[in-house]
Structure 1
Amino acid sequence: MRVYLPATIGILRQLVEKGEYLPPTATAFALTPALRESYTSGSTEELEYAALLDAARASLRLIAIAQEPSSTDAKEPPRRVVISADIDRVALRPDLDYAVVKVTGPIGLEDVAAVHVDASEAEPAVLAAAAVIDAADLGDPDAEFTLGDVEDHELAWYAPQELPFLLDLM
C-alpha cells in the first residue's frame, strides 16, 4: 500500500543517514476504503493526492515541535515534508480519520517511492501555519486562512536517490 508519512527536514536526514525511519506515532495517511467512500467521485490519483495533503498538514505539527528551542531540528529549514512509501505493514485507523493508517515497524529507504518537500519560498507560510495548526483544527477562521496560504504552495517531488543532494543544498 502507498502511504504518506508526515516528516520534517530533520526526519528526512535521519532516513538518509540511518537508512530507515520509525515514525514516533506510527501515523501515516493512505487511500483507504473509508477515504474512497467519503468522496462521491475522483480517480485513484486524486484520492491519493488528498491523502498526501493530509500528511502535509500533519507535517505542520511536526514542524511546530521542531521549532521549539530545545529541539534538535530547530536549525533545520521549516518545510513541509511528506515521505511516500510502499509498505505492507499497515493497519487502518478509521477511528481517527478516513485516510489515517498505522504503520508497524520502520520505513526503510528502499520502501520510499518519492519525497515531497516545500521550496524555500514557502518557509514564511509554513512557519505561520505551524503556529496556528491547532487553532485551525478547532475552527478558527483566521487560522484556516493561514493554512490556506501554505496550501497554496505545491510540494516539489524528489526521487529517493536525489535525497542526499537535496539535503546537501539545505
Structure 2
Amino acid sequence: MRVYLPCTLPALAQVADTGEVGPAPLTGYAVTPALVEWYVSGGTEELEYVALTDAARASLRMLAADRADGVKVAARRVVIAAEVPDEVVTSGTDLEERSRVRIPVAVPLTQIASFHVDDLASVPDIETALAAVFAADGGDDDARFDVDGAEAHELMWFATQEITDLLI
C-alpha cells in the first residue's frame, strides 16, 4: 500500500542517518476504504493526491509545533511516499481524517518510493500558513484561507537517491 508520511527537513535528515522513518508507531495517509467511500467519483490518482495533500497538511502542523517549541525549522513541507505491506497498515474511522492510517513499525529506507518537498518559492506562503494552521484547525475562516494558500503549492518530487541533495 502506498502510504504518505508527513515529515520535516530535520526529520528527513534523521531518516538519511538511520535508514528508516521512525520511531513507530507512525501516522500516515493513504487511500483507505473511508476515503474511497467519501470520494466516490475519484480514480486512484485523485485519491492518492488527496492522501498526499492530507500528509502535507500534517507536515505543516509538525512544522508549526516545532516552531512553537522553539525549534528553528525551514518553512518547507515534506512528505515521504512509501510502499508499506497492507497487513501492517490500519485505518481508523475518523470522518475528519478519512485517509489517516497507523503503522506499528518503522519504515525502512528500502520501502521509500519518493520524497515530496516544497519549492523555495513557496516559503512565503508556508510561513503565513504556519502562523495560521492551528487557528484554521479551530475553525477560523481567515486562517483557513492562509492555509489554503500554502496548499495551492504543489510539492516537488524527488527520488530516494536525491535525499542528500535535499538536505544541503
Q: Percent identity over the alignment?
A: 45
- Report the secondary structure of 2:97's partner residue: coil
Aligned to 1:79: 76
Could you report, residue by residue, the CA deviation over 1:97-136 in whole angstroms, capped at 9, with x for unpaired residues?
A: 2101001111111110111000111112112212211211
**Residue 77 of structure 1: how far off its partner (Å):** 1.8
Q: Which has the higher helix share?
A: 2
Q: Is 1:44 aligned to 2:49, yes or no?
A: no
- Report the secondary structure of 1:12's partner residue: helix
Which runs of 5 or more structure 2 residues have no equivalent in the other structure? none
Aligned to 1:35: 35
CA distance 1:65–1:25, change in 2 (3 Å): farther
RMSD: 1.5
Aligned to 2:57: 57
Q: 1: CA distance between counterparts of 2:14 and 2:59?
A: 16
Q: 1: CA distance between counterparts of 2:67 and 2:24?
A: 17
Q: Is 1:90 aligned to 2:89, yes or no?
A: yes
Q: 2: CA distance between counterparts of 1:127 and 1:35?
A: 29
TM-score by length of 2: 0.92
Q: 2: CA distance between counterparts of 1:146 and 1:70?
A: 22
CA contact (8 A) 2:25 2:105 kept: no
Could you report, residue by residue, the CA deviation over 1:124-152 in whole angstroms, capped at 9, with x for unpaired residues?
A: 21122122112112221111110111111
Aligned to 2:10: 10
Amino acid at match of 2:111: D
Q: Aligned runs of 1:19-168 on 2, under 5 Å?
A: 19-22=19-22, 26-68=26-68, 70-71=70-71, 74=72, 76-88=73-85, 89-95=88-94, 97-168=97-168
Q: 2: CA distance between counterparts of 1:24 and 1:120?
A: 30
- Report the secondary structure of 2:167's partner residue: helix
Q: Greater CA deviation, 88-97 or 149-158?
A: 88-97
Q: 1: CA distance between counterparts of 2:153 and 2:52?
A: 14
Q: 1: CA distance between counterparts of 2:60 and 2:23?
A: 15
Count of aligned residue pairs for this structure pair: 165
Q: 2: CA distance between counterparts of 1:114 and 1:20?
A: 13
**Residue 24 of structure 1: how far off its partner (Å):** 6.4
Question: What stretches of structure 1 move > 3 A for 4+ residues in a row?
Answer: none
CA contact (8 A) 2:24 2:105 kept: no
Q: 1: CA distance between counterparts of 2:127 and 2:11?
A: 17
Q: 1: CA distance between counterparts of 2:113 and 2:138?
A: 33
CA contact (8 A) 1:129 1:150 kept: yes
